[in-house]
Amino acid sequence: MTESVPLAARWDLLVIGGGPAGLFAAHEASRAGQRVLLVEAGDDMRGSLCPRVTAVLRGQRVRDVEKFRLQCAHCTCLTGVGGAAFHFDTNLGYITGLTRSKIESDGSGGTRSYSGLERALGDFDTAQRGIGEVYETFYRLGLTRVEQPAPHDQSPPGQPGGGLDGFSLSDTAPSQPITVDEALVVVEALIAEIRTEHGVVLTGHRVSAVRKEADGGFAVSVHGPRGGEFQARSVIVAAGKLGLGWVRGLLGDLGVRHSSPRKVDLGVRLETSAQDAAPLTAACHNPKLTFLNDAAQPVRTFCVCERGRIMEYEFHGTVVLDGQHCLTTPTARTNFGILTTVDVPEGLDGTDFALDFARRVNKAGDGGSVVETVGEFLGLPPVPGGPTVTSSLLGAARGDLAGALGPERVADVAGMIERLNAFSPGLVGPHALLAAPVVERVYPALDLSADLESSVPGLYFVGDSSSKIIGVTYGAVTGVRAARSALTR
């Protein structure tokens, strides 16, 4: 099928969202002979790239300040085929094998390690095979296969000598980066195979409603030039992080079993010179270092962007931050997140609790993000004539970040800085910058099977929408898993 032919009224599978999870779901089902309609609110990937990035891809020179994506009101990079992840140079994750890169308190004074994908799918070996399958698809469709590095050095908690001093877990599993131009090749190949088989990719259209039908299928209302009401035997929701508000409404409309998230990730991004951060990034692209704070909550490094930038975007009435890899146009800075997995107080909705944290920080930043030096944040005396680091954020306000975060989060950030400087003295100096807010894992906690199927038979939630995982390869694995389950319906 192609987009030029009339759209059928009935489909085997309707996928909502064209990010990695939605693309891989539609690709898997289409190649298995299913009639698939993928609906994406944004444009195709080339059409939704920042014009400045498109200029770079054409080999044109642009000033560095013009390469700051997502800090322009005209950018639509967070929507569109490929999702936010593929609109930037990014990191795909584990390349030699999945690791249990997270820890939590076991409730009796010890810790246990786990993988988010393992928990989502119910089995570590299944999760690891899924990662391998996704990588093979990437390679087949145009990603350059990198030489397999030597086995990584992971120090699980609880083992003699495990971990760096002060950290309960240190994971330096190797991963593979992917540039925007490589992502374009892979995404367009995915789309071509979806269309060549039995699928249609409909861009510039939004799903307004999903209703359960008496025959067990679904009626899906789609707004746009070729919209209408379509019937589907199964529906996969892959709406991404920005779909939070719409998904919350869908859960109520269809009576999907869910609860408030009891744990959310809150924190900051730290930005310093790439030279100062070199000891951290020498071992791998994205080292994962974790310790437990006094409340037994994990505090970890997150999304290390060597020679990258910090970006900000609007999210559900707030402004939040993330990291941007700049593999094609590297900077002299490195940034990474410092996140705490916070236990949500009893009686509060976890999603609203996280959003309130972001709004509190925004208030200190005159409605946006806040930047403060590490020295100011920790109350250190100024160092005359010391080195300076300028923020990659264009519009962030200087403000009382420590006051906005509150004493618990201040202690967590200070604890991470102390441990990093113990690992390599001077890694985080008083001239480094802290920026906030960062919030992750704020989706309602969905009651899903190991196949990502909800309490409404035939309705699946994958990627960020699943509430179980985030990330490109993790999202792709969940899309494949859900599509395979839908095939049996």
Domains of the chain with bracketed CATH: 10-88+181-258+445-487 (3.50.50.60), 262-440 (no CATH)
Instruction: Provide the pLDDT for residue 327.
Output: 87
Instruction: Provide the pLDDT for residue 468.
Output: 95
Q: pTM to 2 decimals?
A: 0.92
Instruction: Provide the pLDDT for residue 447.
Output: 98
Instruction: Provide the pLDDT for residue 44.
Output: 86
| CA neighbours closer than 13 Å in the CB half-sphere of residue 14 | 27
Instruction: Provide the pLDDT for residue 53.
Output: 57
What does the pLDDT profile of the chain (489 residues) look like in tens digits?
A: 344 556 899 999 999 999 999 999 999 999 999 999 999 998 887 776 665 555 555 554 434 433 444 445 445 567 789 988 887 888 898 777 789 999 999 888 889 999 999 999 999 999 999 999 999 999 999 999 887 655 444 444 333 334 577 899 999 888 888 988 899 999 999 999 999 888 999 999 999 999 999 999 999 999 999 999 999 999 999 999 989 999 999 999 999 999 999 999 999 999 999 999 999 998 788 899 999 999 999 999 999 999 999 988 889 989 999 998 988 889 999 999 999 999 999 999 999 999 999 999 999 998 999 999 999 999 998 777 777 788 988 778 999 999 999 999 999 999 999 999 999 999 999 999 999 999 999 999 999 999 999 999 999 999 999 999 999 999 999 999 999 999 998
Instruction: Provide the pLDDT for residue 43.
Output: 87
